[in-house]
Amino acid sequence: MKRLPLYLIIQLTILLIFMLNLKVIAGAKPQGPKVKQVTTTLSGRVDLCLSCHKEKPDKAHGREVLGCAVCHKGNPLSGDKQRAHMGMFLNPGELRFADQTCG
């Protein structure tokens, strides 16, 4: 039995990988931002944070007045989780962030 040349095996492997990737890409559904709620604060700022964060806010501050990004930073106009949380401070009251937040 004669073996296939190495270059042919490599080419067939690359072709198979390419075809599998095309199938995965063709079957994937485009994922856009899943913004369900656009919130305007009492100060007139648009804040999309509440479209994902449904939990009850801490009584220490009313996010309906200023929104979330005034203190926590991040990007309140992004519907994409990764982009919205970029540069965000979980606890803006920490002294190391005080010069950048309302802390």
* pLDDT one-digit tens code per residue, 49-62: 877 877 776 666 67
CA 62 to chain centre: 24
pTM of this structure: 0.56
Radius of gyration of the chain (CA): 24
* pLDDT one-digit tens code per residue, 20-70: 877 766 666 666 556 566 777 788 888 888 778 777 766 666 777 778 888
User: What does the DSSP 8-state code read for residue 35?
Assistant: -
- Report phi then psi at 47, rounded to 5: -140, 110
